[in-house]
Amino acid sequence: MNLPEKASKLDEADALRGKRAEFVLDEDDTVYLDGNSLGALPATVPTRMADVVAREWGRLRIRSWTESGWWTAPERIGDRIAPLVGAASGQVVVGDSTSVNIFKALVGAVRMADAERDEIVVDATTFPTDGYIAESAARMTGRRLVPVDPGQLRTALGPRTAAALVNHVDYRSGRLHDLPGLTAAAHAAGALVVWDLCHSAGALPVGLDAHGVDLAVGCTYKYLNGGPGSPAFLYVRRDLQAGFDSPLPGWNSHRDPFGMSPRYEAADGALRARVGTPDILSMLALEAALEVWDGVPIEAVRDKSLALTDFFLECVEAYLPAGRVESITPVPHTDRGSQVALRCADAGEVMGALIARGVVGDFRHPDVLRFGFTPLYVSFADAERAARVLAEVISSR
């Protein structure tokens, strides 16, 4: 069986294949492998948004804060995301950007640590925003920032660690870090960990409750398809909520927001991580986008994601001239997220040529071609075509 035949067999057997029709995609002329940067548009969103704008905003106006459920949207949508990341309800709240939530979570974690714990450990290969915020959080809380290669994290965690900030999946290589093991190691050292789930939420089972994760943050515009700039989410484990002292205690997290008291008193539960007025339009677009998850087990998504990335790597190996690209994505399934990253010469130009030929991935400095596989709408035929076009582009250079 050749690879296109194998792709159609795999597509026929794919339990998630019906999901693709629930997205707006250019059926035949584009292979979209950039859902790890911006997820595709779920088809129900435009109609829902037209109603939100015309009726909820246009006609109900201020009444929508109560009658349309705007005020409670951050907790309600948090509870919709919760099962996708393995959390029971009441622990996830949606709002603000990922960066802002990383700040809230990390400073909140450090504030729960004893004063003699004077270090914040951060994954040295992290997405830049996490590193910048960790540096600022360290300065603000009077701690020393310790950037550590993820492979060395276990040895870096110790009696001086107040908190650690770690990416679940590395945005560049697609490496999946050991969330259960590192969380347990941090706890053994008496420290808390904040996980950045941007590249794992909606792509693989995270198991926040099962693994005793302390705090976690994730964006919703990648594998959760919430739309450009859709609000991020923050998880605070239930038993930590009473001690969570947000560095951004806005009025939306007050016990009695409309009491308008000059004295801050934090609300109970995850909503104490709220800040100010939520971005309702983006938030309700996200809520509509999450409908595609109805009846979809995250385990099925993970199975397909691994099969897709395996198959793409097989096609790359078969089609590309030897030695022209090097995969920096781990081969073992235990260490792989939902993307394949290939290092190659002139990667920026190569990606430009791929996009011009309808294969949309992205380029990450200095030499990485990134291909994100969103199992809800990417097919095995897409993976085969992407590798074939990549081989044509590379061979023609």
Ligand X SMILES: Nc1c(O)cccc1C(=O)C[C@H](N)C(=O)O
Q: Which residues are annotated as a binding site for pyridoxal 5'-phosphate?
A: 98-99, 127-130, 196, 199, 221, 251, 277
Q: Which of 85, 109, 219, 387 binds ligand PLP (CB under 6 A)?
A: 219
Structure tokens that stand for 133 in this block: 């915020």
Q: Is 149 a catalytic residue?
A: no
Contact call for residue 374 and ligand PLP (CB under 6 A): no
Q: Is 9 a catalytic residue?
A: no
The torsion angles phi and psi of 188, rounded to 5 degrees, stand at -65, -30
Partner in contact with 56, chosen from ligand PLP, ligand X, none, beta carbon below 5 to 8 Å by kind: none
Contact call for residue 171 and ligand PLP (CB under 6 A): yes
Contact call for residue 309 and ligand PLP (CB under 6 A): no
Contact call for residue 167 and ligand PLP (CB under 6 A): yes
Three-state DSSP at 166 gives strand
Q: Is 302 a catalytic residue?
A: no
Active-site residue, selected from the candidate residues 221, 312, 373, 380? 221
Q: Is 319 a catalytic residue?
A: no
Q: Is 196 a catalytic residue?
A: yes
Q: Where are the alpha helices (DSSP H) in 142-237?
A: 153-156, 179-188
Contacts 24+ apart (CB under 8 A), 40-44: 40/225, 40/374, 40/377, 41/225, 41/227, 41/289, 42/225, 42/288, 42/289, 42/291, 42/292, 44/288, 44/289, 44/291, 44/292
- Residue 68, Cβ density class (10 Å: 0-12 exposed, 13-18 middle, ≥19 buried): middle
Which helix (H) or strand (E) segment is 196 a member of?
strand 192-196
Taking residues 96 to 115 in sequence order and writing x for each that binds ligand PLP by CB under 6 A, - otherwise, the string is: -xxx----------------
Using CB under 6 A as the criterion, which residues of the chain lie in contact with ligand X when the complex forms? 37, 171, 198
Residue number, nearest CB to ligand X: 171
| CA–CA distance, 106 with 382 (Å, rounded to integer) | 39
Query: Closest approach of Cβ 232 to ligand PLP, in Å?
Result: 6
The torsion angles phi and psi of 279, rounded to 5 degrees, stand at -80, 85
Contacts with ligand PLP, residue ranges (CB under 6 A): 97-99, 127, 129-130, 167, 171, 196, 198-199, 219, 232
Catalytic residues: 127, 196, 221-222, 370
